[in-house]
Amino acid sequence: MSDVEHKFFTLDDFNLRDRTVLVRVDINSPMDPRSGRILDDHRIRRHLETIRDLDKAKVVLLAHQSRPGKDDYTTLDEHAIRLSQLLGKRVEYVDGLFDSHVRTKIRNMKAGDKILLENTRFYAEETALTGEPNWYKHQRTHIVRNLAPLIDFFVHDAFAAAHRAQPSLIGFAEVVPNLAGRVMQKELEDMGRVFREDGHPRIIVLGGTKIDDSMEVAEHMLKHDNIDTVLTTGLMGQVLLMASGIDLGPGSTDFIKREFTDHEELISRGKNMLEQWGERIKMPLDVALNVDGERRNVSLDGLPSEHTIFDIGLETIRDYTRDLRDAKLIIVNGPAGVFEREDFSIGTTELFRAVAHSRGFSIIGGGHSVAVVEKLDIEDEIDHISTGGGSCISFLSGKPMPGVEALERSKNIFGKGPFQSR
Ligand code: 3PG
């Protein structure tokens, strides 16, 4: 790790041996809703270094999985099993967050023990207190009030959720020293480079399924001229096509309406974006439909369709890859289509290969994106692979990051106090 002077504490600043350390990780992973199995464990693997470095401590892991209402919103027992397999040491799943049996468990831990508590989002106050950090209110939540007396340190390793102001992420800032874990430290060090690269064109490719996050970041980056061009793919591309007046047909619109109760808002937000920055936002020129499981490429004239759009089309791929070739900075967030299905992975695969071949500084983020990078074996060609999706693009667009603020705030408080750094 670097010896740069940080504005936050790291694991190297304290002797954590025999101490009780609450470690907030982000192991939010794609899961098969039917079998409950974890489909991709790369985020879990990224935290192993932090957990191993805490091997002499009593480690209490804290994490979330998905969002209320989603198919993969579930308990963390599978995550504990996977963590145990990967570490070669037992990580015990405890089905509670701060109730008395959990507190007793923590009190009885010995050095080297590791437990994983329940999905933080099972508790309403975790997702109720979002938006701007309210340090006082976050600290007064039940999770913080119950767990804080039992711990010596809080390690924030959940870079992927550091754009969220939720109690399990920022509520401990003022009550115990907060330390950046290895994932958090590396993300902040590597991505800080972007602010020192000043060439143009700067391109962001937005895809995946979190349309609200993508829109927010695109608006912010366009408004602040952090980026020259936005290439839209995935559901963001589809919503923008709708916003531009194109009827996608029931196959795709029904899906979007079903999945996004705020779809009308998203479309009108898309219209505003196109009005303001239409020349800097590119939309798919064609699409690939899922026709009875087979890929069928159609131009926009082939819409509306009763079939669902599963990928960007070949003309779009050619157009976007041309843009990427000469870019000096490329940020990619989210896959272009349903990449898990071979026929519909072409858009994602080709765009990612183009990023790997480009000579510009490249950053790829988003849980699903990382799985693609691994599958294509292009890790070495990408400058930084972020564990974050929304957090990666929030950080890069210079938006406030409550999780990072919490770390800095904690160092300000405890750096001066009775706590001695090593
Ligand atoms: C992510 O997957 O991007 C993080 O785990 C944050 O999840 P969220 O967008 O549901 O807050």
Query: Does pLDDT of 5 surpass 80?
Result: no
pLDDT value of position 398 = 81
CB burial of 162-182 (b: ≥16 within 10 Å; e: otherwise) equals: bbbbbbbbbbbbbbbbbbbbb
d(CA 282, CA 284): 7
User: Could you give the angle at the alpha carbon of 170 between the alpha carbons of 102 and 415, nearest 5°?
Assistant: 105
> Is the minimum distance from the CB of 67 to ligand 1 under 6 angstroms?
yes
> Is the minimum distance from the CB of 392 to ligand 1 under 6 angstroms?
no
Q: Give the pLDDT mean for 192-216.
A: 87
Interaxial angle between packed helices 346-357 and 314-325, expressed in degrees from 0 to 180 and rounded to the nearest 10: 10
C-alpha 278 to ligand 1 mean position (Å): 28
pLDDT value of position 226 = 86
pLDDT value of position 117 = 98
Q: Which tens digit of pLDDT belongs to each residue from 210-235?
A: 899 899 989 988 998 889 999 999 99
d(CA 225, CA 298): 33
Query: Cis ω on the peptide bond leading into residue 284 (within 30° of 0)?
Result: no
C-alpha 170 to ligand 1 mean position (Å): 15
How far is the CA of 292 from the CAs of 30, 274, 302, 312, 347, in angstroms? Answer: 25, 33, 17, 17, 19
The residue whose CA is least distant from atom 7 of ligand 1 is: 161
> Is the minimum distance from the CB of 164 to ligand 1 under 6 angstroms?
yes
| Top mutation candidate among 24, 26, 28, 79 for ligand 1, by most atoms within 8 Å of CB | 28
Using 50, 70 and 90 to split pLDDT, how confident is the model at 3?
low
> Is the minimum distance from the CB of 403 to ligand 1 under 6 angstroms?
no
Using 50, 70 and 90 to split pLDDT, how confident is the model at 131?
confident
- The domain over range 9-183+401-414 is classified in CATH as 3.40.50.720: no
Using 50, 70 and 90 to split pLDDT, how confident is the model at 130?
confident
Query: Does pLDDT of 369 surpass 90?
Result: no
- Measuring CA to CA, which residue among 385, 391, 388, 357 is closest to residue 372? 385
The residue whose CA is least distant from atom 11 of ligand 1 is: 161
Contacts of 384 (CB under 8 A, 6+ apart): 190, 191, 193, 362, 363, 364
Q: Give the pLDDT mean for 233-257.
A: 97
C-alpha 297 to ligand 1 mean position (Å): 32
The residues spanned by each domain of the chain are 9-183+401-414, 197-386
Q: Give the pLDDT mean for 33-48.
A: 92
Least confident of 114-128, 316-330, 353-367: 353-367
Give DSSP secondary structure letters for 299-353.
Answer: EGGG-S-SSEEEEE-HHHHHHHHHHHHT-SEEEEES-SS-TTSGGG-HHHHHHHH
| Top mutation candidate among 65, 120, 130, 164 for ligand 1, by most atoms within 8 Å of CB | 164
C-alpha 177 to ligand 1 mean position (Å): 24
pLDDT value of position 417 = 59
Give DSSP secondary structure letters for 389-408.
Answer: SHHHHHHHTT---HHHHHHH
Q: Which tens digit of pLDDT belongs to each residue from 286-313?
A: 999 999 999 999 999 999 999 999 999 9
The residue whose CA is least distant from atom 3 of ligand 1 is: 389
Q: Which tens digit of pLDDT belongs to each residue from 377-388?
A: 999 999 999 999
Task: Assess contact for 339 and 312: CB atoms under 8 A.
Answer: no
Contacts of 371 (CB under 8 A, 6+ apart): 30, 40, 42
The chain-wide mean pLDDT, for the chain, equals 93
- Measuring CA to CA, which residue among 113, 102, 105, 107 is closest to residue 57? 113
Query: Does pLDDT of 2 surpass 70?
Result: no
Q: Which tens digit of pLDDT belongs to each residue from 397-421?
A: 788 899 999 999 999 999 975 555 5
The residue whose CA is least distant from atom 2 of ligand 1 is: 28
> Is the minimum distance from the CB of 163 to ligand 1 under 6 angstroms?
no
Q: Give the pLDDT mean for 45-63.
A: 98
Which residue carries 């464990």 as its tokens? Answer: 41
* CA 21 from centre of chain: 23
pLDDT value of position 190 = 84
CB burial of 332-368 (b: ≥16 within 10 Å; e: otherwise) equals: bbbbbbbbeeeebbbbbbbbbebbbebebbbbbbbbb
Query: Does pLDDT of 325 surpass 70?
Result: yes
> Is the minimum distance from the CB of 389 to ligand 1 under 6 angstroms?
yes
Using 50, 70 and 90 to split pLDDT, how confident is the model at 396?
confident
Interaxial angle between packed helices 367-376 and 346-357, expressed in degrees from 0 to 180 and rounded to the nearest 10: 70
> Is the minimum distance from the CB of 402 to ligand 1 under 6 angstroms?
no
Pick the atom of ligand 1 nearest to 367's CA. Answer: 2
pLDDT value of position 93 = 98
pLDDT value of position 301 = 97
pLDDT value of position 421 = 52
- Report the amino acid identity of residue 121: R
Pick the atom of ligand 1 nearest to 164's CA. Answer: 11
pLDDT > 90 in the chain, percent:
82
**Helix%, strand%, coil% for the chain, nearest 5:** 45, 15, 40
Query: Does pLDDT of 328 surpass 70?
Result: yes
Question: 114-116 and 58-62 as β-strands: parallel, antiparallel, unpaired?
Answer: parallel
Can you tell me whether residue 387 is helix, strand or coil?
coil
Using 50, 70 and 90 to split pLDDT, how confident is the model at 279?
very high
C-alpha 147 to ligand 1 mean position (Å): 23
Using 50, 70 and 90 to split pLDDT, how confident is the model at 203?
very high
d(CA 94, CA 118): 6
C-alpha 66 to ligand 1 mean position (Å): 7
Q: Which tens digit of pLDDT belongs to each residue from 64-105?
A: 999 999 999 999 999 999 999 999 999 999 999 999 999 999
Query: Does pLDDT of 137 surpass 90?
Result: yes
> Is the minimum distance from the CB of 387 to ligand 1 under 6 angstroms?
no
Alpha helices in 40-109 (DSSP H): 42-46, 48-53, 77-87, 100-107
pLDDT value of position 244 = 98
pLDDT value of position 416 = 74
C-alpha 374 to ligand 1 mean position (Å): 20
Task: Assess contact for 236 and 210: CB atoms under 8 A.
Answer: no
> Is the minimum distance from the CB of 390 to ligand 1 under 6 angstroms?
yes
Pick the atom of ligand 1 nearest to 366's CA. Answer: 3
d(CA 364, CA 372): 10
pLDDT value of position 352 = 97
> Is the minimum distance from the CB of 367 to ligand 1 under 6 angstroms?
yes
Pick the atom of ligand 1 nearest to 388's CA. Answer: 3
Query: Does pLDDT of 179 surpass 90?
Result: yes
* Record: fold of 197-386: Rossmann fold (3.40.50)
> Is the minimum distance from the CB of 28 to ligand 1 under 6 angstroms?
yes
